């Protein structure tokens, strides 16, 4: 790889959204906020590939499944079918070893006109081990930087509040904008706090941030992550029997938190938040068994479950919520099995 990278910075995430720059042959989504990275990819797909031709012209690869770049090269060189563009997206390239990473970068230098290769390389643009793809590309690629400063975090908080139909004290927004929590955790906290329908206060936020997980919800999530589906469902059903209208969110929130910890533990260089480090000796071996991809899928499934309840898509009857929790539990019951 080029030992003298161009440090020219890319567009900040919201500049990318607002300015809608031209999308060429190579896009590198960099920075460290996965929520923004996933959203940036979806924006690119929405701009370039109408739904009716997307399945025919989109190839997705997970970096952990790539031993070389042959499959990516073949996909990138393919002709669009009934569309103007073919898109190839490779996720989590920051986890690749040196040789396949270099091979992938060689493919990125030879994308034909009319096609687009998107690399989700969730590293600081100034990372040197590994060298960030964005730094190597400089101005030769469209770069979207998901690093979240205070302005980005504040806008994300305001958008989340608007999406869930909640309001918050100005100090809540200020505290979240200044915090170091990843945006996925910020989103989860706001969704939980917004369920009450009242204005979120700083006291509410502090209580949420400091609260110890509900023991039953925590035990449910831990059992499910370990593949103990019978035990997990028994705990979930007991929770619904005791409080049918308010059981689902704590259960799914605990599951999202547990899967997020496992995802972070499975990523190269991943670091648990301080409040969870006492569990590291347990989480790391489990995370290695589950793997980064499955941990991410599980986390996203739990979050989608929370969103379905918050937005009403899952229905308003407690039986609907119980059915949703059961369904998610069964889907993820093989999480820790090889």
DSSP codes of every residue in 194-228: GGG-SPBPHHHHHHHHHPPPPHHHHHHHHHHHTT-
The answer on pLDDT for 179 being more than 50 is: yes
Q: How far apart are CA 163 and CA 168, in angstroms?
A: 13
Please report, in angstroms and rounded to a whole number, the separation of the first and last CA atoms in the chain.
Answer: 35
Beta bridge partners of residue 12, listed in sequence order: 145
pLDDT, mean over the chain: 88
Range name among 13-22, 70-79, 268-277, 322-331 with the lowest pLDDT average: 268-277
pLDDT band at 278 (very low <50, low <70, confident <90, very high): low
Structure tokens at 20: 């809608």
pLDDT band at 188 (very low <50, low <70, confident <90, very high): confident
The answer on pLDDT for 8 being more than 70 is: no
**Section 184-196 average pLDDT:** 83
In this prediction the pTM is 0.67
The answer on pLDDT for 47 being more than 90 is: yes
Structure tokens at 69: 């770049």
Q: How far apart are CA 71 and CA 62, in angstroms?
A: 11
pLDDT band at 268 (very low <50, low <70, confident <90, very high): confident
Cβ pair 10, 145 in contact under 8 A: yes
The answer on pLDDT for 50 being more than 70 is: yes
pLDDT at 4: 40
Q: Return contacts of 172-181, CB within 8 angstroms, 24+ apart.
A: 172/200, 172/201, 172/202, 172/204, 172/205, 175/202, 175/205, 176/205, 177/150, 177/151, 177/153, 178/150, 178/153, 179/153, 181/273
Alpha carbon of 257 to those of 49, 80, 273: distances in Å? 33, 40, 11
The answer on pLDDT for 266 being more than 70 is: yes
Beta bridge partners of residue 118, listed in sequence order: 27, 89
The answer on pLDDT for 142 being more than 50 is: yes
pLDDT at 211: 47
Cβ pair 97, 127 in contact under 8 A: no
Contacts of 175 (CB under 8 A, 6+ apart): 202, 205
- The number of helices, as runs of H, and strands, as runs of E, in the chain is 16, 6
pLDDT at 209: 61
pLDDT band at 9 (very low <50, low <70, confident <90, very high): low
The answer on pLDDT for 103 being more than 90 is: yes
Range name among 101-115, 129-143, 179-193 with the lowest pLDDT average: 179-193
pLDDT at 322: 94
Q: How far apart are CA 100 and CA 93, in angstroms?
A: 10
Q: Is omega for the bond preceding 130 within 30 degrees of 0, making it cis?
A: yes
Range name among 34-38, 279-283, 304-308 with the lowest pLDDT average: 279-283
Q: How far apart are CA 271 and CA 285, in angstroms?
A: 14
pLDDT at 73: 96
Cβ pair 99, 69 in contact under 8 A: no
Q: How far apart are CA 298 and CA 286, in angstroms?
A: 14
Beta bridge partners of residue 87, listed in sequence order: 58, 116
What pLDDT, in 10s, does the model give residues 159-176? 999 998 999 999 999 989
Phi, psi of 91 (to 5 degrees): -95, 150
**Section 188-204 average pLDDT:** 85
């Amino acid at each position: 790889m080029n030992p003298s990278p161009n440090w020219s910075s890319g567009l900040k995430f919201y500049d990318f959204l607002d300015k809608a720059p031209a999308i060429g042959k190579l896009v590198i989504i960099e920075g460290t906020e996965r929520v923004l990275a996933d959203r940036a990819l979806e924006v690119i797909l929405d701009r370039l590939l109408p739904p009716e031709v997307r399945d025919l012209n989109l190839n997705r690869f997970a970096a952990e499944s790539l031993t070389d770049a042959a499959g990516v090269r073949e996909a990138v060189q393919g002709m669009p079918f009934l569309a103007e563009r073919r898109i190839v997206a490779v996720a989590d390239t920051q986890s690749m070893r040196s040789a396949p990473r270099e091979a992938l970068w060689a493919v990125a230098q030879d994308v034909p006109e009319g096609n687009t290769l998107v690399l989700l390389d969730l590293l600081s643009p100034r990372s040197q081990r590994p060298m960030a793809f964005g730094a190597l590309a400089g101005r030769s690629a469209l770069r979207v930087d998901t690093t979240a400063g205070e302005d980005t975090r504040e806008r994300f908080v305001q958008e989340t509040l608007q999406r869930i139909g909640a309001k918050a004290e100005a100090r809540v927004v200020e505290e979240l904008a200044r915090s170091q929590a990843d945006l996925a955790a910020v989103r989860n906290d706001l969704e939980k706090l917004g369920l009450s329908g009242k204005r979120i206060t700083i006291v509410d936020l502090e209580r949420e941030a400091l609260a110890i997980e509900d023991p039953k919800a925590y035990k449910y999530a831990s059992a499910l992550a370990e593949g103990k589906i019978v035990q997990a469902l028994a705990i979930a059903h007991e929770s619904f029997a005791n409080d049918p209208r308010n059981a689902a969110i704590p259960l799914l929130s605990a599951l999202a938190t547990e899967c997020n910890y496992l995802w972070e533990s499975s990523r190269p260089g991943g670091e648990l938040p301080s409040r969870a480090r006492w569990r590291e000796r347990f989480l790391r071996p489990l995370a290695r068994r589950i793997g980064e991809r499955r941990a991410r899928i599980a986390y996203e499934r739990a979050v989608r479950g929370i969103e379905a309840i918050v937005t009403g898509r899952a229905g308003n009857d407690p039986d609907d919520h119980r059915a949703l929790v059961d369904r998610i539990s069964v889907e993820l019951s093989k999480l820790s099995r090889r």
